[in-house]
Amino acid sequence: MKRRSFLKKSLKTAGVVPVIGASFPAIAKNRYEWRMVTSWPKGLPGLGTGAERLAETITKLSGGRLIIKVYSAGELVPALGVFDAVADGTAQMGHDASYYHLGKTEGSAFFTSFPWGLTANEIQAWVKYGNGQKLWDELYKPFGIRGFLAGNTGTQMLGWFRKEIKSLEDFKGLKFRAPGNQGKILKKLGAVPVILPGGELFTALQSGTIDGAEWVGPYNDLSLGFYQVCKYYYSYGYHEPGAALQLTVNEKAWQSLDNDLRSLIKTVAEATNHDMLAEYNARSGPALKTLVEKHGVKVMALPEEILLECGKAANEVLNEVYENGSYIVREIVQDFLKFRKEVIPWTRISEQAYLNARRLPFDFKLKI
């Protein structure tokens, strides 16, 4: 009882008010209210809801010291205006994909996904235990923002098409929604790349503004109704083998925070990275089944001869990025390729080898 009384007096003296049911003190000083803008339609499963959970978690675990209000695409800024909004201080935080902003710097693509690049596990390893985060910090420093991994959709689908893709001729003149470097690759193959945010894709497909679209995968694509317009659903998702999402923070706002709140943001961003990937892995299988069995979608694989041409075009794009890039962009490309070369042998004899083995005609059956 004396010890309990002593603790209460000590907390009161320190200006800390104990909170019943909480494992941390709620500190009244330095309370912040931040805006977080996103590229996602409100309530979009995975991407939108993941960003909302991130904000809610920071608010809750900070004991209300850092309150984050989320703005969906178009509510405060356009879907593709997140980078600028965070850089100029319109919002203190943003959640989107780094490769939406190649116009700012070509180096941004490598922190979402570069075609034929890293899987979800590999990009996380590069950023956290390689030189990825250090290079990312240097890349974004001139813009006055910081970037953190804060979500991953896993390997994506190549996209939706109105017709079968049997040869390279089928890409000629095809108006296809494809952001980032995938758009450059398809352009080399004769397609017409179009950049549109996710919330505008269904209308664009329905009206014929575009002939096909890449978005994410079954979990999101089912909810957005693309199957109502296109019936051919293609892999391989070479263009985004592990598509990461970013949390961006305005540098001045970041510096205004207490150290414990900075640590909290980093921790919640990392937790969101794991949580979102788990959600996509859990939901995509059932969603794919619904697309095929209920809506008659035809799941196809891009012919390997076309896939090989996509690889050659990707190499051309990579070299163009490197040749035209700034010092830091060249550093990112070199380090990215070095890490990829080092990690592939292990991935090949571990996860990839097991997945190849799982293709054998064997499955579990309970003897009931």
Write the pLDDT tens digit of every residue in 129-174. Answer: 999 999 999 999 999 999 999 999 999 999 999 999 999 999 999 9
Architecture of the domain made up of 159-241+294-335: 3-Layer(aba) Sandwich (3.40)
24-152+244-282: CATH number: 3.40.190.170
Among residues 124, 29, 40, the alpha carbon closest in space to that of 77 is found at 40
Which residues make up the CATH 3.40.190.170 domain(s) of the chain? 24-152+244-282
Q: Which amino acid is at 287?
A: A
Start and end residues for every CATH 3.40.190.10 domain found in the chain: 159-241+294-335
- What's residue 51's pLDDT? 98
Pair 215, 39: CB distance under 8 Å: no
User: pTM score, two decimals?
Assistant: 0.90
Low-confidence residues of the chain: pLDDT under 70: 1-29
Cα–Cα distance measured from residue 161 to residue 359, given in angstroms and rounded to the nearest whole number: 27
Residues 190 and 174: their CA atoms lie apart, in Å, by 8
Q: Where are the beta strands (DSSP E) in the chain?
A: 16-17, 26-27, 32-38, 66-71, 93-96, 145-152, 159-161, 175-177, 192-194, 212-213, 232-235, 244-250, 298-301
The per-residue pLDDT for range 179-198, each reduced to its tens digit, is: 889 999 999 999 999 999 99
* H, E, C per residue of 207-232: HCCCCEECCCCHHHHHHHCHHHCCCE
Instruction: Report the chain's terminal Cα–Cα distance, integer Å.
Output: 59
What integer pLDDT is reported at residue 9 of this predicted model?
44
Tokens describing residue 130: 């390689």
Q: Is 182 in contact with 114 (CB distance < 8 Å)?
A: no
